[in-house]
Amino acid sequence: MAVKGLKKGVFITFEGAEGCGKSTHSKLLCGHIEAMGYTCVHTREPGGTSSGELIREVLLHSKDVEISDLSELFLFEACRSQIVKEVIIPSLAKKAIVICDRFSDATFSYQGYGGKVPLNIIKKLDDVATGGLKPDLTILLDVDTLTGLRRARRKGVDRMENKDLAYHRRVRAGYLKLAKLDPKRIRVIKVDGSIEKTQESVRREVDIVIQRYKRAG
């Protein structure tokens, strides 16, 4: 099938607290986008580049290693700086649809609201790491904290999932606050039904954005 054209690349991010099903839904969405004839680049944070995947190991799977709140922030932003330069900007320049599991909103919600690092510090660093790049659309999958954590912890517990319940409750509330501040970009989808029903809602939001940037004809 010929690849369909867009007026510009489209940048879509998936966000949500632990166990919200974001990887399942972003993968399904990518399949849907390709089936429509568009080029889709699917990536994730932390990770998505060779150095980013190495840093991901440190952030999520290092044991008995002290990582301060600020070091954690720098490591997430280091990953971001790399993926923006190596993957996201070049793909958007080719007018692809880029789907990234997590991006800046995760840092504000986890390190900011969850970890209590001042939001103005995060904003400064994040602006440097992203060069000001913002998603065209962010899908926030909102799940009850305990339900999500239980689901996530079934696969084993990483360093972030291991943080306490109060931390994860602040993360969820932080995400919802960000969505209230930017309701046009961040679309909240409640995860309380079947995968099919949630995916239908995801596609509805994405189709609106694709229509906006579709080439005529």
The footprint of ligand TMP (CB under 6 A) covers: 18, 44-46, 76, 102, 106-107, 110-111, 160
- Cβ proximity to ligand TMP: between 18 and 136 the closer is 18
Burial class (CB in 10 A: 0-12, 13-18, 19+), 22: buried
> Closest separation between CB of residue 35 and ligand TMP, Å?
25
Token match 């999520």: residue? 60
* Residue (8 or 23) nearer to ligand TMP, CB: 23
Beta strands in the chain (DSSP E): 10-15, 40-44, 97-101, 137-142, 186-190
Q: Which is closer to ligand TMP, CB of 3 or CB of 127? A: 127
Q: Which C-beta is closer to ligand TMP: that of 95 or that of 102?
A: 102
Would you call 74 helix, strand, or coil by DSSP? helix
- Smallest distance, ligand TMP to C-beta of residue 9, A: 20
DSSP labels, 147-162: HHHHHHHTT---TTTT
Shortest distance, CB of residue 184 to ligand TMP, whole angstroms? 22
For residue 45, the minimal CB distance to ligand TMP (Å) is: 4
Look up residue 129 and give its amino acid: A
